[in-house]
Amino acid sequence: DAGITQSPRYKITETGRQVTLMCHQTWSHSYMFWYRQDLGHGLRLIYYSAAADITDKGEVPDGYVVSRSKTENFPLTLESATRSQTSVYFCASSETGNTIYFGEGSWLTVV
Amino acid sequence: SQQGEEDPQALSIQEGENATMNCSYKTSINNLQWYRQNSGRGLVHLILIRSNEREKHSGRLRVTLDTSKKSSSLLITASRAADTASYFCATEHDTSGSRLTFGEGTQLTVNP
């Protein structure tokens, strides 16, 4: 089915390890986003992308790296995971001024 | 911060009652959106209202927007147990990037 998919859905990693969360959308939306949601709170924007090869920082970019070589993919990498990065990560996509569609989330625990 | 604030943080009602949630924001917007999140799931888009609109309806949902007060409300009529979820308002503050700023959410519990 068309949509936005994230992988892995659940991940436990150790402090200091590199982790990559994958995001794939089938709508050819121009915009893609990564948000994190800490327990009991709203979403905070980490990075976003307006098109392939165009990325920009959001509210909380430190410790994360993104790339967008293809329109449909927007991976998020934690270069050296820390416990404070334990969170649920949501990928999303949209066209300008319209509805943003979210993936089901990736639950990341850093021990 | 441009972050919106929802009120109340938690709301518990009986089935059949109406539920009203409020959202306030600080700077001018292009649009405001409401999302629902069931426990352990992703966010589902409910409704989008643009800055030049004052009211929108979708099924049992009614959203109002008052740009002079920088506030919005979401009304769910004739609530059902299945409406139990967290509800978030999100605001788009500029015309580039479709970036949304989310509030902290309202946890709605509808008791059977």
Q: Which domains does chain A have, with CATH numbers?
A: 4-106 (2.60.40.10)
> At B111, is the secondary structure helix, strand, or coil?
strand
Q: Given this model, what pLDDT does residue B95 score?
A: 57
Within 10 angstroms of residue A58's Cβ, the number of other Cβ atoms is: 19
Question: What domain range includes position B27?
Answer: 5-111
Q: How many domains, chain B?
A: 1
Both tokens of B7, joined, read 């009120």
**Cβ-contact B35, A98 below 8 angstroms:** no
Q: Given this model, what pLDDT does residue A39 score?
A: 85
Does A97 contact B103 at a Cβ distance shorter than 8 Å?
no
Q: Given this model, what pLDDT does residue B1 score?
A: 46
**Cβ-contact A44, A34 below 8 angstroms:** no
Cβ-count burial of A37 within 10 angstroms (0-12 exposed, 13-18 middle, 19+ buried)?
Answer: buried
Within 10 angstroms of residue B47's Cβ, the number of other Cβ atoms is: 17
Mean pLDDT of all residues in chain A? 93
- DSSP result, A27-53: S--SEEEEEEE-TTS-EEEEEEEEETT
CA–CA distance, B107 with B42 (Å, rounded to integer):
15
Closest alpha carbon within chain B to A30: B97
When mean pLDDT is compared across B14-28, B31-45, B60-74, B82-96, the lowest value belongs to B82-96
Report residue B16's pLDDT band, with 50, 70 and 90 as the boundaries: very high
**Cβ-contact A34, A46 below 8 angstroms:** yes
Q: Given this model, what pLDDT does residue A25 score?
A: 96
Mean pLDDT of all residues in chain B? 91
Closest alpha carbon within chain B to A38: B104
Rounded to a whole number of angstroms, the distance from the CA of A80 to the nearest CA of chain B is: 26
pLDDT tops 50 at residue B82: yes
Rounded to a whole number of angstroms, the distance from the CA of A13 to the nearest CA of chain B is: 20
Closest alpha carbon within chain B to A104: B42
pLDDT tops 80 at residue B20: yes
Does B42 contact A90 at a Cβ distance shorter than 8 Å?
yes
Question: For A25-54, what is each residue's pLDDT tens digit?
Answer: 999 899 999 999 998 888 999 999 999 999
When CB atoms are compared, the residue of B43, B96, B103 closest to A102 is B43
Average pLDDT over residues A77-99: 92
When CB atoms are compared, the residue of B95, B97, B105 closest to A48 is B97
Q: Is the peptide bond before A75 cis (omega within 30 degrees of 0)?
A: no
When CB atoms are compared, the residue of B98, B99, B105 closest to A58 is B99
pLDDT tops 60 at residue A98: yes
**Cβ-contact A23, A34 below 8 angstroms:** yes
User: For a pLDDT cut of 70, what percent of chain B falls above it?
Assistant: 92
pLDDT tops 80 at residue A1: no
Q: Which one, of B50, B44, B56, B29, lies nearest residue B88 by Cα? A: B44
- DSSP result, chain A: --SEEEE-SEEEE-TT--EEEEEEESS--SEEEEEEE-TTS-EEEEEEEEETTEEEE-S--TTEEE--SSTTB--EEESS--GGG-EEEEEEEE-TTS--EE---EEEEE-
Rounded to a whole number of angstroms, the distance from the CA of B80 to the nearest CA of chain A is: 23
**Cβ-contact B89, B75 below 8 angstroms:** no
CATH classification at residue B101:
2.60.40.10
Q: Which of B2, B29, B98, B102 to mutate to test the interface with A (most CBs of A within 10 A)?
A: B98
Within 10 angstroms of residue A72's Cβ, the number of other Cβ atoms is: 16
When mean pLDDT is compared across A16-20, A87-91, A92-96, the lowest value belongs to A92-96
Does B100 contact A45 at a Cβ distance shorter than 8 Å?
yes
